[in-house]
Amino acid sequence: MLENKKRFVEAMSTAMVIDQRSRVTSIEYISDLQREECFGIYKEVVRINFTDETFKLITVDANSNMAIAKEILCGIYGPEATGTFFCGDRELFKRILERKLKKA
Protein backbone atom coordinates (compact mmCIF):
# COMPACT_ATOMS: atom_id res chain seq x y z
CA MET A 1 0.00 0.00 0.00
CA LEU A 2 2.74 2.49 0.95
CA GLU A 3 4.68 1.66 -2.22
CA ASN A 4 1.57 2.42 -4.27
CA LYS A 5 1.22 5.81 -2.55
CA LYS A 6 4.90 6.55 -3.13
CA ARG A 7 4.57 5.81 -6.86
CA PHE A 8 1.39 7.90 -7.03
CA VAL A 9 3.14 10.89 -5.41
CA GLU A 10 6.10 10.49 -7.77
CA ALA A 11 3.67 10.71 -10.71
CA MET A 12 2.06 13.82 -9.18
CA SER A 13 5.54 15.31 -8.77
CA THR A 14 6.31 14.78 -12.46
CA ALA A 15 3.04 16.45 -13.45
CA MET A 16 3.54 19.44 -11.15
CA VAL A 17 7.15 20.02 -12.25
CA ILE A 18 5.96 20.13 -15.89
CA ASP A 19 3.49 22.91 -14.96
CA GLN A 20 5.86 25.84 -14.46
CA ARG A 21 3.08 27.90 -12.87
CA SER A 22 3.13 25.52 -9.89
CA ARG A 23 6.68 26.62 -8.96
CA VAL A 24 7.26 23.02 -7.79
CA THR A 25 10.73 21.48 -8.03
CA SER A 26 9.74 18.13 -6.51
CA ILE A 27 7.22 16.33 -4.34
CA GLU A 28 8.30 13.56 -1.99
CA TYR A 29 6.31 10.92 -0.10
CA ILE A 30 7.86 10.18 3.30
CA SER A 31 6.79 7.26 5.49
CA ASP A 32 9.68 7.07 7.95
CA LEU A 33 9.02 8.32 11.50
CA GLN A 34 12.78 8.83 11.88
CA ARG A 35 12.88 11.49 9.16
CA GLU A 36 12.82 14.97 10.68
CA GLU A 37 9.94 15.99 8.42
CA CYS A 38 7.68 13.57 10.33
CA PHE A 39 8.39 15.22 13.71
CA GLY A 40 8.39 11.68 15.13
CA ILE A 41 4.57 11.60 15.11
CA TYR A 42 3.31 11.62 11.52
CA LYS A 43 3.36 8.24 9.73
CA GLU A 44 2.91 9.60 6.21
CA VAL A 45 4.02 13.02 4.99
CA VAL A 46 4.17 14.71 1.61
CA ARG A 47 6.89 17.34 1.17
CA ILE A 48 6.34 19.85 -1.64
CA ASN A 49 9.52 21.74 -2.63
CA PHE A 50 9.19 25.07 -4.43
CA THR A 51 11.57 27.00 -6.71
CA ASP A 52 12.09 29.71 -4.04
CA GLU A 53 13.55 27.01 -1.73
CA THR A 54 10.53 26.99 0.60
CA PHE A 55 8.58 23.80 1.18
CA LYS A 56 5.31 22.58 2.62
CA LEU A 57 4.77 19.50 4.74
CA ILE A 58 1.36 17.86 4.60
CA THR A 59 0.31 14.92 6.73
CA VAL A 60 -1.47 12.27 4.68
CA ASP A 61 -1.76 9.50 7.27
CA ALA A 62 -4.22 6.84 6.05
CA ASN A 63 -5.36 8.96 3.08
CA SER A 64 -6.38 7.45 -0.24
CA ASN A 65 -4.58 8.47 -3.44
CA MET A 66 -7.56 10.70 -4.28
CA ALA A 67 -7.27 12.48 -0.92
CA ILE A 68 -3.49 12.80 -1.32
CA ALA A 69 -3.95 14.33 -4.79
CA LYS A 70 -6.43 16.85 -3.37
CA GLU A 71 -4.05 17.77 -0.53
CA ILE A 72 -1.14 18.22 -2.96
CA LEU A 73 -3.17 20.38 -5.35
CA CYS A 74 -4.49 22.51 -2.48
CA GLY A 75 -0.96 22.81 -1.08
CA ILE A 76 0.29 24.10 -4.43
CA TYR A 77 -2.57 26.15 -5.83
CA GLY A 78 -4.66 26.88 -2.69
CA PRO A 79 -6.78 27.06 -0.71
CA GLU A 80 -4.38 25.66 1.86
CA ALA A 81 -4.36 21.89 2.24
CA THR A 82 -6.15 20.82 5.42
CA GLY A 83 -3.23 18.64 6.48
CA THR A 84 -0.55 21.32 6.14
CA PHE A 85 1.52 21.55 9.30
CA PHE A 86 4.54 23.47 8.00
CA CYS A 87 5.25 26.03 5.31
CA GLY A 88 8.55 27.91 5.16
CA ASP A 89 12.26 27.60 4.51
CA ARG A 90 14.91 25.26 5.93
CA GLU A 91 16.05 27.61 8.70
CA LEU A 92 12.53 28.12 10.05
CA PHE A 93 11.98 24.36 9.91
CA LYS A 94 15.17 23.75 11.95
CA ARG A 95 14.09 26.26 14.63
CA ILE A 96 10.65 24.69 14.95
CA LEU A 97 12.12 21.18 15.05
CA GLU A 98 14.56 22.19 17.79
CA ARG A 99 11.72 23.61 19.89
CA LYS A 100 9.67 20.43 19.45
CA LEU A 101 12.62 18.26 20.45
CA LYS A 102 13.25 20.35 23.59
CA LYS A 103 9.63 19.88 24.67
CA ALA A 104 9.77 16.10 24.15
pLDDT at 99: 82
Distances in Å between the Cα of 81 and the Cα atoms of 1, 13, 22, 91, 98 are: 22, 16, 15, 22, 24
pLDDT in tens, 11-47: 999 999 999 999 999 999 998 877 888 777 888 899 9
Query: CB 97: neighbour CB atoms within 10 A?
Result: 15
Query: CB 103: neighbour CB atoms within 10 A?
Result: 6
What is the count of structural domains for the chain?
Answer: 1
Q: Which pTM value belongs to this model?
A: 0.78
pLDDT at 80: 66
Give the structural domain span for 34.
2-103
DSSP-based three-state secondary structure for 15: helix
Round to the nearest angstrom and report the end-to-end CA distance of the chain: 31
Residue 11 backbone phi and psi in degrees, to 5: -65, -40
Counting every residue, how long is the chain? 104
Q: pLDDT-based confidence at 72, cuts 50/70/90?
A: very high
